[in-house]
Amino acid sequence: MKVEILEFVEGARNSKGVAVIIDVFRAFSVACYAIDAGAVRIIATAEVSEALKLKATYKNCVLVGERDEKKIPGFDFGNSPTEIIKADLSGKTVIQTTTAGTQGLINAVHADAILTGSLVNASAIVKYIKSINPDHVSLVAMGYRATNSAEEDLMCAEMIATELNNEKFIAETRIADLQNSSGKRFFNPINIDFSPPTDFFLCTMVNRFDFILKATRRFDGNIDLMKIEL
């Protein structure tokens, strides 16, 4: 099994084999919390206009997403696990669009299979990949706004790669250090309304969930994310 680490939308476009599109802060942590809150599936899309169109098609749905880290006007929730964990999404379809994570899903056009990646279900991702034993794994760290390398996404990629190699990854110190680097924005009081400190801690709860979210490309070019229990 060959494992490579890529970044940004370009990395998603170049991914092959099993692509794990990683967005720890916060898209694919939010996706896991949404499924845990009862959502039956997630439709990921790149454009706000497409999300609004999907909302008109699906009656029992909610809009979740951000631009510039903030909730999009007219959306039900921002890209915040703190909001999602309080919600009852039982039976609902979540329509999600974000600056980085969902762009990676849409652009992974050459991959044989696509998974979302986050710290909250990292070991489940490893377990699933080992169970299918692909020849190639592409770990795509989407980064901050899909333009700047993000320590948390690269760390998640490193964790998955290490555990695929049957070695142990020690995360605690690295996660604590994130509070002084890429996670620092969650502790800035001016961001508390849309990026509260609780988001940092919810996104770094390693292996909170024992399921993966696997992507299927839809007829309209968007992505269905479905839960697979492990």
The 10s digit of each residue's pLDDT in 186-197 is 999 999 999 999
Q: What tokens does 99 get?
A: 């600056």
- 180-213 in b/e burial notation, b at 16+ Cβ within 10 A? eebbeebeeeebeebbbbebbebbbbbebbebbb
**How far is residue 171's CA from residue 160's CA, in Å, rounded to a whole number?**
11
pLDDT at site 24: 98
Q: Which domains does the chain have, with CATH numbers?
A: 2-229 (3.90.1560.10)
What is the number of residues in the chain?
A: 230
pLDDT at 94: 98
- Going residue by residue through the chain (230 aa), what tens digit of pLDDT does each one get? 999 999 999 999 999 999 999 999 999 999 999 999 999 999 999 999 999 999 999 989 999 999 999 999 999 999 999 999 999 999 999 999 999 999 999 999 999 999 999 999 999 999 999 999 999 999 999 999 999 999 999 999 999 999 999 999 999 999 999 999 999 999 999 999 999 999 999 999 999 999 999 999 999 999 999 999 99
Q: Which amino acid is at 167?
A: E
Q: Are 221 and 215 a contacting pair, CB within 8 Å?
A: no
pLDDT tens-digit map of 124-167: 999 999 999 999 999 999 999 999 999 999 999 999 999 999 99
Residue 150: the pLDDT is 97
CA 29, CA 172: separation in Å to the nearest integer?
18
C-alpha–C-alpha distance, residues 181 and 179, integer Å:
6
